[in-house]
A = this chain, B = another copy of it.
Amino acid sequence: MALENPFYTPEVQGAYELHSLGRFELEEGGVIPDLQLAVATYGELNEAKDNAILIPTWFSGTHQTWELVYIGPGRALDPEKYFIVVVNQIGNGLSTSPHNTDGEIAMSKFPDVRIGDDVRAQEQLLREVFGIERLALVVGGSMGAQQTWEWAVRFPDKVLRAAPIAGTAQNTPHDFLFTQTLLDAITSDPGWNGGEYADHADVVAGLARHADIWAVLGLSTEFWKTEFWRGIELPDVTWDTFEEFRDRFIRAVFTAMDPNALLVMGWKWQRGDVARNTGGDLAAALGRVTAKVFVMPHDEDMFFPPRDCAAEQALTPNSELRVLHTVAGHFGLFGFEESYLAEVDSHLTELLATPV
The residues of A with any CB-CB pair to B shorter than 8 Å are: 172-178, 180-181, 184-185, 188-190, 205, 209, 212-213, 215-217, 219-225, 227, 242, 246, 302-303, 305, 307-308
Complex CA–CA separation, A177 to B218 (angstroms): 12
Pairwise interchain contact A216-B184, C-beta atoms closer than 8 A: no
Given known pairs A188-B188, A242-B173, the reply for A181 and B221 (CB within 8 Å) is no
Question: In the complex, what residues of B have CB within 8 A of residue A185's CB?
Answer: 209
Pairwise interchain contact A181-B212, C-beta atoms closer than 8 A: yes
Complex CA–CA separation, A220 to B173 (angstroms): 11
19 A/B residue pairs, CB under 8 Å, sorted by A:
A172-B221, A172-B224, A173-B225, A173-B242, A174-B216, A174-B219, A174-B220, A177-B212, A177-B215, A177-B224, A177-B242, A184-B209, A184-B212, A188-B188, A188-B205, A188-B209, A190-B190, A221-B308, A225-B308
Task: Give, as a whole number of angstroms, the nearest-CB distance from A214 to chain B.
Answer: 10
Task: Give, as a whole number of angstroms, the nearest-CB distance from A207 to chain B.
Answer: 12
Complex CA–CA separation, A238 to B220 (angstroms): 34
Pairwise interchain contact B307-A222, C-beta atoms closer than 8 A: yes
Complex CA–CA separation, A303 to B220 (angstroms): 9
Complex CA–CA separation, A189 to B206 (angstroms): 11
Question: In the complex, what residues of B have CB within 8 A of residue A184's CB?
Answer: 209, 212
Question: In the complex, what residues of B have CB within 8 A of residue A172's CB?
Answer: 221, 224-225
Complex CA–CA separation, A303 to B180 (angstroms): 19
Task: Give, as a whole number of angstroms, the nearest-CB distance from A171 to chain B.
Answer: 11
